[in-house]
Structure formats: C-alpha cells, structure tokens
Structure 1
Amino acid sequence: MDITLKNVTKSYGDLTVLRQFNHTFREGETTCIMGPSGCGKTTLLRLLMGLEKPDEGEILGLSGLRMGAVFQEYRLCENLNAISNVRMVCSHALPKERITQALTQVGITDSLYKPVRDYSGGMKRRVAIVRAVLSDPEICFLDEPFEGLDEATRSVVGSWLYRQLSGKTVLMVSHDEEDALRMDASVFRLDQDI
C-alpha cells in the first residue's frame, strides 16, 4: 500500500516545520528525501515512524507494517557486541550465521565479538544498517545512512543495502546526490516553503 500524507502540519513552539504537507510515497520504491538543513526531512521521517504525531492532518498506509530504521544516532547497546546488537531486533529463527555473514559483507570481520563501544563511528553505522535490514522490515527508514563512511565503504555498503532492500518501500534522507544514485532512488525535494 502507498503511504499518503494529507494536510500534515508539524510545529515545535513557534517554528512550523511542515505546513499542510501532502505527498504520496509509492509502495516498493526507494525515495531519497533531499533539501536544505532545517527544512523538515528528519521530522518527516519521525512522523512516518510514529515517533512524532502531526499537529494536523493524517498519515495513511502505515498501519501494521514492520518498520526498520537507521537513525542519525547509532542507537546501539554499547556494552554488547555487533551480533548481539543485531540479534535484539531479529526473529529468533534467524541463524547466527546469517548475522555474521551480513556483518562480514559490510566489512565488519575481526571485531564481531568486541563491544561496539570500541568501534569507530563508521563501524557503528554499519552495525546499525545491518540491524535495520535483518529486522526484515516491510518499510525501511534511513536517515543519512552513509554518514561517516569513506567513499570505498559507502560503495560496498550501498551495494549491499540496495540488494537487501530491493522491492521494499525505502524512505531515505540524504544531502548527497550520490547516495540517491547508489540506491537507485527517486529524489523528492523538500523545500523550506512547504
């Protein structure tokens, strides 16, 4: 089912971030939401994930869907290793080997059993990406998913992510046109004047 926002308004105090916003995101497509800082991209994702409620308007098409997310913050349990962080959101039926394989495919190999507090920012980002994908979402929200990754790692992780999420509904926020190309995403530009 498509996801439709109808006349959605969201304000924080005197600051209106989205005003009478209308848009439909197509089921099974990847959309990259782009726009200047402060225009409401992250707020839009938070509304769609149900982490914020609109002040006015409605959001249709999300009821009952399994959601996966990569946030700007890593949101990992720092004392746990990478495998345990991924396992927290997965079906217990998912074999440990599948988690290990996915982490290895994005370049986390010799640190699988170290606490993630000892990881670099780029390594934490990759664990967060694998965790979102292996939670088997019907819709996946990605807020600057490649932030902190060098170009070579972006290419490897982007290819892996694209293959894993192919055919699913993906809404991604990015400032980088290359990220949209990497994910074969249509671009939706969110302007300040909405």
Structure 2
Amino acid sequence: MTDTLLSASQLRLQRSHKTVLDNISLTLTAGRIMTLIGPNGCGKSTLIRVLLGLEQADSGSIQRQRGLRVGYMPQKLSLDQRLPLTVDGFLRLARGASRQRIDQWLKRLSIEPLRHQSVHGLSGGEWQRVLLARALLSEPQLLILDEPVQGVDVQGQMELYQLIPQLRDELGCAVLMVSHDLHLVMAATDEVVCLNGHVCCSGHPDQVSLDPAYLDLFGQRPAIAHYTHHHDHQHCLDGHIESEHRGGHTHD
C-alpha cells in the first residue's frame, strides 16, 4: 500500500531562542515502518508531539488523512500510585476500548495473565506491553511508538522489535517509532530518519549506518541485527491518540 496517511513539510520550532526542530519534512504511508533515531535531546519526542497535534510548530505544515485513527504509545505515562487500578481497568479507560478488543489484545500480546494485576506492580516489559495494547484498541491506521523498549531487558527488546512488524502486517497500518540507536532497530524498518534538530540523514538502516552524519553522531557500531520476517499472518483489528503520563524516563 502506498496511501499517504500523514505528511509534514518544513516544520520549525523554537524554544527560548533555541531551535528544537529545523526544516523537518517526512511522509508516513500505510504498511511502512519509519524509525526516528538521534542522540538525547535531539527533538525526537518533540517531533512526535507536533505530528500528533499536541504541540504547535512555529512554521511548516502537516497534512493528515481525513478521519485518521492514531494509536499512540507515549514515552512517559504517570498514574497516581494511590489509585487502585488493574490492567483490565486501565485498558477499559482507553478510547475505543471494548471487551472484545481488550480480550483480543491481551491475548495477542501474551499478557492475558496480567489482566487482574495492579498496574503499579508490573515490570518494565509488562508495562510496555500494556501500553502497546492500549495504543492498539482503536484499530489504528497509524501506530506511533515513543521509545517502546524503554525499561525492557535485552531479550524483551528483541521480542518487541520482532512483534512490531507483525502488528504492521496484521493491521496494515503505518508505524512511526522512536529509538535511541540504529543498531537496536530491526532491519524490518523500511526507513530510518536520523535527527539532531534537523534531518541529518535518512534511508534504509543499512544506508544510514554508513552515512558520515550518522557516524559523526554515534561512531562505529556493531552490525545491525537482521530479523527474518515472513508475511504469513492473518489480518486482525485494533489503538488512539491520547497524551497521558506514567512514571518513566523522558529524554527529549
């Protein structure tokens, strides 16, 4: 599919006389995965908020497909520790939630046993999968994941990175993902955009890993791990744009 879901042109944003985003342009199309990488404080999460309409750019334009459904997994989501809330109760608060969809995504993401557990007692990996389930509840056409492996161990990171292209295939959606480092991003990523306030370089992960601008930022890194992905999935359903907060680490 080549349907354009969202396109941004020449986005610019300044804060306190500092240019945070400078001349950023990108296009998100159905069925493709784009990953934003860059050093801490380079504007990745800020760009996500601008694309979601949660923050306004000083100049530039954003075009979204009419009625676009967006599933958003924020980098940080804060919940009051005094609030007794189970995983099931948390997911029922999400827009687009239904009993059927909650059951479907708990099972699909292998977190069904967590249904009646308190959200406050989850491990980092469990919490990230719950947040991912929440993003999937509205059947997103565009899935936006801000640091989806944050607080997850290495094995859990590999599993999540392998899961994301599977979800892309099942939903037929576009995926925009934020990561810190190219060598952690699966080769299934269709396009990588390297940010440092502006677009330093972009293209396939193999191309970007050899680009002088990338090497200036990150230095020489180990070879990218390649994951083989077979398109043999059934197409299922189901996420939405919300900007909530739970304790976590914010980098941008």
Question: Bigger CA drift: 20-29 or 8-17?
Answer: 20-29
**Runs of at least 5 residues in structure 1 that lack an aligned partner in the other structure:** none
TM-score for the superposition, normalised by structure 2: 0.67
Q: Of 94, 99, 115, which residue of structure 1 is paired with 2:100? A: 94
**Cα offsets for 1:146-192 (capped at 9, x unmatched):** 11111222233333332122231111010132442165342111133
1:88 Cα shift?
2.6
For residue 64 of structure 1, what is the aligned residue in structure 2? 67
Question: Is 1:41 aligned with 2:44?
Answer: yes
Q: Of 134, 152, 157, which residue of structure 1 is paired with 2:155? A: 152
How many pairs were matched up?
A: 191
Contact kept in structure 2, 1:155 and 1:182, CA below 8 Å: no
TM-score for the superposition, normalised by structure 1: 0.85
Contact kept in structure 2, 1:31 and 1:186, CA below 8 Å: yes
**Runs of at least 5 residues in structure 2 that lack an aligned partner in the other structure:** 200-252
Deviating 4+ runs (over 4 angstroms): 75-78
CA distance in 2, matches of 1:158, 1:22: 25
Q: What's the C-alpha RMSD, in Å, of the aligned pairs?
A: 2.4
Larger radius of gyration: 2
Mapping 1:1-194, distance limit 5 Å: 1-2=3-4, 3-75=6-78, 79-89=84-94, 90-92=96-98, 94-103=100-109, 105=110, 108-166=111-169, 167-181=172-186, 183-193=188-198
Contact kept in structure 2, 1:82 and 1:127, CA below 8 Å: yes
Contact kept in structure 1, 2:37 and 2:194, CA below 8 Å: yes
1:139 Cα shift?
0.5
**Cα offsets for 1:13-43 (capped at 9, x unmatched):** 2121112322323332100011122221111
Contact kept in structure 2, 1:8 and 1:58, CA below 8 Å: yes
Which letter maps to 2:44?
A: K
**Cα offsets for 1:48-69 (capped at 9, x unmatched):** 1111111111101244211111
